[in-house]
Amino acid sequence: MYRPIRYFALFFALLFSSMPAFSGSAAENLNRLLSELSSFSADFEQLVLDNSGSRMQAANGHVELQRPGMFRWRTQDPFPQLLVSDGKQLWLYDEDLEQVTVKDVDNRLGNTPALLLSGDISDLEQNFVISGPSEGKEGVYRLVPKDENSLFVVMRIMFSGGIPVEMQLEDNLGQQTSVAFQNSQFNPDLEPSIFTFTVPDGVDVIGE
């Protein structure tokens, strides 16, 4: 089963890492908007479409994020799944499989949008074309990888009032994924304990 929510969780969480100023007005404004969010909490609805526009999957859940790089992303339906990161390790808990995969955050992101958006500024400028509003707190930012072998062809982040309201990703197979955020909280106080994970009894653990 195709589960693109993992890409969004990693990508969105690492956008909360400290980001240096980009060159170019659109990228500078995107950086400004993201830097104003030190924490974030929201419900989300996810929709996946195939290359013909037919629905492949719908899901919903809740996300909490804290700068830098900590997040808790729970998908409730149709597949219960929890992703938790303390900024150093990432736990992926598939409840239906009774399995936890533990990964090192620094080493597991080589082929995901997360690394490209949280890495060194020279890599970002080399690999992405960033377009969008050069000022204000409204609008859509479009990120296009320059590498034709990238896992995705375009990514979009939509802001309203300075808060992310939707993310979209189109991969190189023509599949489109959107995640819409609802009931969002801007810079809420979050308990640090929610960004650690205790493996339940009887669950298999896989390390990479």
SS3 54: coil
Cβ neighbour number for residue 81 with a 10 Å cutoff: 21
- When pLDDT is cut at 50, 70 and 90, the band that residue 185 belongs to is very high
> Can you give the pLDDT at residue 13?
61
Domains assigned to the chain: 5-207 (2.50.20.10)
Tens digit of each residue's pLDDT (9 = 90 or more) over 41-53: 999 998 888 888 7
Identify which has the larger pLDDT, 187 or 113. 187
Identify which has the larger pLDDT, 105 or 157. 157
Averaged pLDDT of the chain: 78
Residue with tokens 């990161």: 85
Q: What is the mean pLDDT of residues 99-120?
A: 56
According to DSSP, the β-strands at 204-207 and 99-104 are parallel
> Can you give the pLDDT at residue 122?
46
N-terminal to C-terminal alpha carbon distance within the chain = 21
| Residue 88, token pair as written in the block | 């150093």
Q: What is the dihedral of CA 179, 62, 141, 32, to 10 degrees?
A: 180
Q: What is the mean pLDDT of residues 138-154?
A: 83
Q: How far apart are CA 164 and CA 121, in angstroms?
A: 22
> Can you give the pLDDT at residue 171?
84
Among the ranges 26-40, 55-69, 119-133, which has the highest mean pLDDT value? Answer: 55-69
Q: What are the strands of the beta sheet with 55-66, ordered from one edge?
A: 128-131, 139-145, 152-160, 163-171, 176-186, 39-49, 55-66, 70-77, 81-86, 89-94, 99-104, 204-207
Q: What is the mean pLDDT of residues 169-182?
A: 87
> Can you give the pLDDT at residue 115?
40
- When pLDDT is cut at 50, 70 and 90, the band that residue 25 belongs to is confident
Q: Enter the pTM of the model.
A: 0.77
> Can you give the pLDDT at residue 144?
85
Among the ranges 39-43, 51-55, 142-146, which has the highest mean pLDDT value? Answer: 39-43
Q: Using CA of residue 165, residue 76, residue 155, residue 103, what is the dihedral sign?
A: positive
Q: How far apart are CA 19 and CA 43, in angstroms?
A: 25
> Can you give the pLDDT at residue 188?
93
pLDDT above 50 for 163? yes
> Can you give the pLDDT at residue 194?
93
